[in-house]
Structure 1
């Protein structure tokens, strides 16, 4: 019997699928060729994982489906996403924003990788791709401030306060410290001379750097900026950077800027259709930090002081509210407030909020508080408005209505400020940021998130949930989609956003190049920083290795105890984080093979020391978050109340990420060999141990101490 003829619909569908496959194959061919061109300029060879990644990124940009791509050390992931991203930006005329977590990677992308890709691809594209860099407002000098357009900054508590959004101290501060700390006046004079010649006004172009305090004399925040009223608007460095970004095909920025955008200020970024997030494992934490705010007596005093000095209004009510708040905080215990602020604290913060609201009304130009007078008076009024508005918004978050308060984590902490005084601070952080990332960063555009550590426990789901791409009963809550005081959020997309997870592997042969040793015979770690058994194990391992050890510890006390013990027991140099600036310590560690470097969290990520100088990585214990970590404990409670496993969803996921990052310090090149030694038997004995182990590079695993000692001895003598 003859076959039934195909219907016209089936024929059309088959033809369409054939055409689509043809387009996909042609796209893959073009991307492969362009990547070969770019890698050839570098003098490198073909890496299959890099090509697999580039084709996957190109497919994601073509379909609009979000992509999580894990690219192990040595893959060359920067070119793996830049080549298809640049191709797409030029061909589709869609702007791409590329964000990095670290200054080092941002510099690498902007000054090396992206210009190389632009140069290599230009002959193969319709036009040369346009590139721009975009940072936060205070990273640029303010010409109006340099000319006296603002009064001198408050020399009191100002320099003990964090930047709005929780930004960390700028790396240039450490560089300036290493230069012997010029006097503030000398630094400002040098800044003024540099400002007269710089084409960018970008702080990172100033070498050597200066302290945060000196930089504050020549920069303003976005809230302090006079905007269209500024007499130097046409020459403004941050405005110029934003204008260039609006015309660029590829804009390079950082996770702090993404945090600002996610927190409800999306206009800090230019319109874009594609977002590439490198070091994406840090995105949720960076957004959380950016959306975290605090209130303390110094914060209130600072706002009152600038309102009086620069805004021309009497802050009597705010000063009184600050003193009343300080009186309540004295007896307040440290820790999280799961049911909201205690009544007395709530009332004190509400009084601060109301006083700040009144001051904001008085600081309006039409109210006569500073008026519209030109020069320093107008600049001072903007400074006062900024300080008081920040205080008001924070107090309003802490005293929100019950339904909004349920989305905020509140806690009290004490610590030293830069003068050494103990200060009590109230903090507010969003309970979850996956909703912020989902609605403000990913919805309506294509997201490509990449890192060497995205698949935790062998699955991408924990990372996907953390950025709002996967909704499950045991997931962290998605709300809120904005934070108080922010721009209105767009409507939340219904249902899960489509995404794909891809692990392109690594060119390294981990089972042959590295050993993962779990010291199963040791007792589980307790409250003490280090046990005698642990110190004996460290001594034996470091002695067999002949030094060349990176020690990753869960606390400063543990790192110090181990370093002091090894200095007494061994004849190899032992450096300790805090002895000098971190880049200096890492350089010394890399330059001298027998040297050891011990430290805490800053060493778990970003340390890149290939070769014989790092053949043993010690991890003292599984890096679970502290039980009293307010944000993570609150998130675990929410998961548990929903019927999920809060420990696995929050604590184990956090530990898996850090273990993967820490273990990744060992093999940095194809010739590297070594051992990762985990001195916590729970990695082998606990039920969650296999989940954590699957997050680490696939080293050959053993708990046989003699085998490891012998292997380290052979590496030492090789």
Structure 2
């Protein structure tokens, strides 16, 4: 096969070269085999715009060449059109693996792979039935995209047999209106409450064996774990006292299938639902894949398993329709929206925040036509929307009520707990919290309050909407959402008008300019000006580029006066909104026998939305502002003022309030109402001290003591021989404050490992400094280097590439460790730039005082080290080295590592030799 021909006569590539980019430059492989090298800069931009090369992930390539953009044929765009709702790692090797092509091993082979992949994709289109409705729809979309300037328009139309055709306007409108082809959501009768029959350990072991299948590796630890978890599925004996199991399972135990076995049995036997909550969207995807073992048939799995996220993660069909309406007048938008239309027709559940939506599509197309089409601002019209019967969110909600297993995330579960229930006010009774060590942080985020410019402006936008704000925003205000539910001349309409007028006291468009320029409008903006002034007056290093925070008390006189004014202004919004919600609720009662289902649903949703989106946050802010004059903050809380900056640019300012112990409200709102809780992780305990003290510390951090119920503890050790498979090195002769020394250490260690290396940093600035010094040498050595905050890719995509590319290297912040699940040789070295101590901010200061001072710092740090170390060995046969470059690596943190794995204090040269030997 040449670079431009195909077995199919209908398929031909444009006669352009293929581009592969490395640090500092790129290589063009022309169709005749000529190789042309490119340096970055304006000369490269001019050349690339002239030849419009084949490329994989144009934004990433542009970033590496130091360009903002260049004209190209991005093979990923073609992949997204031909194979929508399918993922591939966005590299030539990733394309090759997914498409069954030879995996390239050199730069020239990577370039050829781009051409072969593009030809194979066009061939897929050429064999579609020419008269099929789906083929006609694809032709119409490709035509609209070609008119919008899509580089692939001509080749795609030729492959589809539509070259030279001009589809009628009606065909184009049908192709863009993809929502009409979606199945409708049907109403079903409510379900009876679930039963309470328990699951015996022997039954869980039998279900586990069935899930593993014949010939599976025997893992007694996994069966023991499944048996222990069964206790959470016993019937509750007292109200407000759930059955609680705290289960620590070492890496390799197989805890996912271990808790799926009893959870699925309980759900089937009792015709109920178990919610399995994990920490990140990546982990939700992994868990969803594991459930293929339980339900191998896709249709059965669709009935029994639902991946549930917040509504802001799902594509809004009304937003999509409004965006599609612009294609007629703005044809350049047809490229992005055409690819989105292809995805909508193929997606499993409309999850635009993960699921089957490739994260790199947002990199390629931009935020607005992709994730920007989700309902991120709570503007849903509910049953007033014409798309309600096809709505992805409604489908997920209804399926979750009937599913046996719901795969959620901690953020959703906690937010719903804070708001008093799910979207329809139902409350699950059985939970499994996987990655349970993150429960504290999730509760902290859900139960906190922030009277900041960004959050207050968001509430104003939710209330007032775009109709009064101007601009191109699709924001729909409360007035539009409530249309048809109230008499336009009645009391409710008057209350609405009063609330919307009062909402002008919240920050409006262009608030950042006004806050910095002394031209604030409204009570809240004047308050934020005073907050900003107090922060700048009292913070150390106020002129630097970093975010700042200061204590609230004693408040400056201007802050105190403006706080009183804010409390009064917020009351003027809250009072009419509460009255409005009360009138809507009264209508539900007064007209109970005449209201149709759609109107009742709208009324219930509107009452709930007003309460949750406006009354709750505004009332909390009102109390915070009114309490500024108190000599002490409210008991159990810590408050502070903050000015948020990103690289020196001010992005937010405001007053913050957090629970010192956020597991207290979590226990009251969710824990005590549950019937059974499993909290599980590989890193519940930090390993320091006696066993009893480590359990007590874990229970305290998870808030289990607030439940008033006995906790069943279970610990199942890892089956891996860490002493034989791993080494932990503390490098003693690298100055952590010298970027050149740190970069040289990373370079030497990464090269000694031959790639497969993850570098973790506790500050973004240090990551970027090391990357700039490291990238050219690693790329020259044939080791691809990727970096969070540097490459034009989201972190999920970067991790996927890292997993696929066995000899790649990845730099990320300390937080990356939680999303990395990379078995095999793709991860064989972890290097920390310095000890990941907790950030010494005002909130941590309060918690540190409550939970043991320096011992609390050590405990959190050991847990972080333990989590990071756990990434090295994911399955039998994995090997790896963990390196800490910080000479100030205290020995007392060594209990973070498995028994028998001690910290070895070595110089850099010896560390390099050990890494090289470990790989040999």
Q: Judge same fold: TM > 0.5, yes or no.
A: yes
| Equivalent residue number for residue 446 of structure 1 | 676
Provide structure 1 residue ranges, at least 5 long, that are not aligned to the other structure. 1-22, 153-181, 471-477, 479-492, 640-644
Moved more, 508-517 or 698-707: 698-707
| Equivalent residue number for residue 635 of structure 1 | 847
Partner SS for 1:294: strand
Where in structure 2 are the equivalents of 1:257-406 lying within 5 Å?
A: 257-268=412-423, 270-301=426-457, 303-304=459-460, 307=464, 308=468, 310=477, 311=479, 313-315=500-502, 317-318=505-506, 319-333=521-535, 334-337=548-551, 339=553, 342=556, 344-361=558-575, 389=615, 392-399=618-625, 405-406=634-635
Shift of 1:554: 1.7
Please give the per-residue CA displacement for 1:566-594, whole angstroms capped at 9, x wherever unaligned: 45777644443333223454455455555
Tell me whether 1:140 sits opposite 2:314 in the alignment: yes
| Equivalent residue number for residue 685 of structure 2 | 455
Tell me whether 1:599 sits opposite 2:839 in the alignment: no
Q: 1:399·1:405 contact (CA, 8 Å) conserved in 2?
A: no
Moved more, 277-286 or 557-566: 557-566
Shift of 1:98: 0.7
- Among 57, 73, 81, the residue aligned to 2:259: 81
Aligned-partner Cα distance in 2 for 1:222–1:564: 37
The 3 A distance-change label for structure 1 pair 79 and 381 is: closer
The 3 A distance-change label for structure 1 pair 607 and 714 is: same
Please give the per-residue CA displacement for 1:335-391, whole angstroms capped at 9, x wherever unaligned: 242647555334424423432332345567969x99x9x9xxx99999999765465
Tell me whether 1:435 sits opposite 2:664 in the alignment: yes
Q: 2:377·2:458 contact (CA, 8 Å) conserved in 1?
A: no
Please give the per-residue CA displacement for 1:407-439, whole angstroms capped at 9, x wherever unaligned: 333223333579955442333322221112222
- TM-score normalised over the length of structure 2: 0.59
Q: 1:95·1:248 contact (CA, 8 Å) conserved in 2?
A: yes
Tell me whether 1:414 sits opposite 2:620 in the alignment: no
| Equivalent residue number for residue 466 of structure 1 | 701
Q: 1:349·1:395 contact (CA, 8 Å) conserved in 2?
A: no
- Among 853, 860, 869, the residue aligned to 1:646: 853
Shift of 1:612: 3.2
Where in structure 2 are the equivalents of 1:487-566 lying within 5 Å?
A: 493=707, 495=708, 497-519=709-731, 521-522=732-733, 528=737, 530=739, 532=741, 537-538=745-746, 540-566=748-774
Aligned-partner Cα distance in 1 for 2:292–2:523: 54
Q: 1:608·1:665 contact (CA, 8 Å) conserved in 2?
A: yes
Moved more, 421-430 or 661-670: 421-430
- Among 579, 590, 595, the residue aligned to 2:790: 579
| Equivalent residue number for residue 625 of structure 1 | 838
Moved more, 692-701 or 256-265: 692-701
Aligned-partner Cα distance in 2 for 1:681–1:53: 39
The 3 A distance-change label for structure 1 pair 97 and 270 is: farther
Q: 2:303·2:399 contact (CA, 8 Å) conserved in 1?
A: no
Aligned-partner Cα distance in 2 for 1:568–1:335: 38
Partner SS for 1:266: coil
- Among 236, 239, 244, the residue aligned to 2:399: 244
Please give the per-residue CA displacement for 1:108-161, whole angstroms capped at 9, x wherever unaligned: 323x322422459x99xxx99933333223333455666779x99xxxxxxxxx
| Equivalent residue number for residue 677 of structure 1 | 883
Greater relative CO (CA pairs within 8 A, separation 6+): 1
Q: 2:570·2:622 contact (CA, 8 Å) conserved in 1?
A: no
Where in structure 2 are the equivalents of 1:600-615 lying within 5 Å?
A: 600-615=813-828
Provide structure 2 residue ranges, at least 5 long, that are not aligned to the other structure. 1-196, 237-242, 470-476, 480-496, 507-520, 536-547, 588-598, 689-693
Shift of 1:239: 3.6
Q: 2:208·2:261 contact (CA, 8 Å) conserved in 1?
A: yes
Aligned length: 615
Please give the per-residue CA displacement for 1:260-316, whole angstroms capped at 9, x wherever unaligned: 133242344743332101111112112212333433345545555653554464345
Partner SS for 2:276: strand
Aligned-partner Cα distance in 2 for 1:712–1:145: 52
Please give the per-residue CA displacement for 1:185-210, whole angstroms capped at 9, x wherever unaligned: 76567657866886744434664555
Is the radius of gyration larger for structure 1 or structure 2?
2
Tell me whether 1:34 sits opposite 2:216 in the alignment: no
Q: 1:517·1:675 contact (CA, 8 Å) conserved in 2?
A: yes
Shift of 1:256: 1.2
Aligned-partner Cα distance in 1 for 2:530–2:415: 32
The 3 A distance-change label for structure 1 pair 358 and 193 is: farther
Tell me how large the CA RMSD over aligned residues is: 4.4
Moved more, 572-581 or 442-451: 572-581
- TM-score normalised over the length of structure 1: 0.74
Aligned-partner Cα distance in 1 for 2:227–2:717: 15
